[in-house]
Structure formats: C-alpha cells, structure tokens
Homo-oligomer: A and B are copies of this chain.
Amino acid sequence: MQLTDKEKVDKEKYETVKKIFTAYLEKQELRKTPERFAILEEIYTRGGHFDVESLYISMKNKNYRVSRATVYNTLDLLVACDLVTKHLFGENMARYEKSYGYKQHDHLICSECSKIMEFCDPRVQHIQNMVGELLKFKISHHSLVLYGTCDDQNCTEKQQKNHLVSI
C-alpha cells in the first residue's frame, strides 16, 4: 500500500514519540502494553483536536479492542510525559491534542460554529513569567482561550457543535 507524504511524516513522528513514551514507561516502571501504544499511534496518525469519545469510537471502528477506562488511563500518562495536551474549552468535556513537535500555541474558538484556531504570541510567555515572579508562584503551564465569532461564510450555516478546524 502506498503512503502519501503526509502519512509518511505522521508515521515517522509516531516512531519518535513511541521512543519517548517507551522511555517514560520504563522510567516510571510501568508496563509497555499494546493498548498504550495503539492509543498513542491513533492519536499521532489522526489530526487536530479530539475528545475521548471520538478517539474511543475511532479505535472501535478499526475493531481494536479497547475500553474507555484504558483510553482515560493512557491519556493521563501521555499528558504526564508531555506527548499530549489536555484542554478544557468551556465545554463540559476535555479536549486533547498531540503536542510533540508542535510549537507552543494558544486557542481561539468560534462560539457559533465551534471552529478552533491557533495562534502564537510571545507576550503570553512574558506575562506568565512576570506574574509568576510577582505572586511567588512556580508556573508550570497556562491556558489562554479567546472566544468570539468568526467571519466564515459557512459559520452561521454549520452551527453543528464539534466541527473543528485548525490552522
């Protein structure tokens, strides 16, 4: 079977994160189970932001035998070793995002069509450093989300939730 360029890149990236995850599991004396790697692979070969249920469904659709419990458990491990980032975008549900090899960024969400966009601004880091020093906090990470409505022609049409696009 022929792979597209994008699929090749994803596959290579997966090989790298697999090594990182393996090292993490060994250091923490956790077992290298096939489920854990299957979940990591699924995350790194699919695109953009996702929630637990859609990841679970994707794997079920591929006839992979996993349980929600294992998905939740593995996501916690992946967040702990910085391969995945967890977001709470004002919904009552967590969203996740692969984070290895992607530069730090923040999010902008359309309240109408739920489109998610990303942006970088170094000032966020400056604020984080300054406020941490001022209030004597060791800041580990931050979450900046801008909420608004986008200009998209399509926006008002597709009011469907969970329709996600990244730039």
Q: Counting CB contacts under 8 A, is A131 at the interface? A: yes
CB distance from A156 to the nearest CB of B (A): 13
Chain B residues contacting A90 (CB-CB under 8 Å) are 88, 143
Q: Counting CB contacts under 8 A, is A30 at the interface? A: no
Binds B, one of A6-14, A52-60, A134-142: A134-142
A162–B143 Cα distance when bound, in Å, is: 20
Given contacts A108-B135, A141-B147, contact A123 B119 (CB under 8 A): no
Contact in complex: A148, B140 (CB < 8 Å):
yes
Query: Which chain B residue shows the least CB distance to A110?
Result: B137
A108–B108 Cα distance when bound, in Å, is: 20
Number of identical monomers bound together in the oligomeric complex: 2
A110–B94 Cα distance when bound, in Å, is: 20
Chain B residues contacting A131 (CB-CB under 8 Å) are 108, 119, 121, 146
Chain B residues contacting A138 (CB-CB under 8 Å) are 148-149
Interface 1/0 per residue, A103-143 and B, CB below 8 Å: 00000101100000101010110111011101111111111
Chain B residues contacting A117 (CB-CB under 8 Å) are 135, 137
Q: List 24 A-B contacts (CB under 8 A).
A: A88-B88, A88-B90, A92-B92, A108-B132, A111-B140, A117-B135, A117-B137, A119-B134, A123-B123, A123-B126, A128-B146, A135-B150, A136-B151, A137-B146, A137-B149, A137-B150, A138-B148, A140-B149, A141-B146, A141-B147, A142-B144, A142-B145, A143-B145, A143-B147
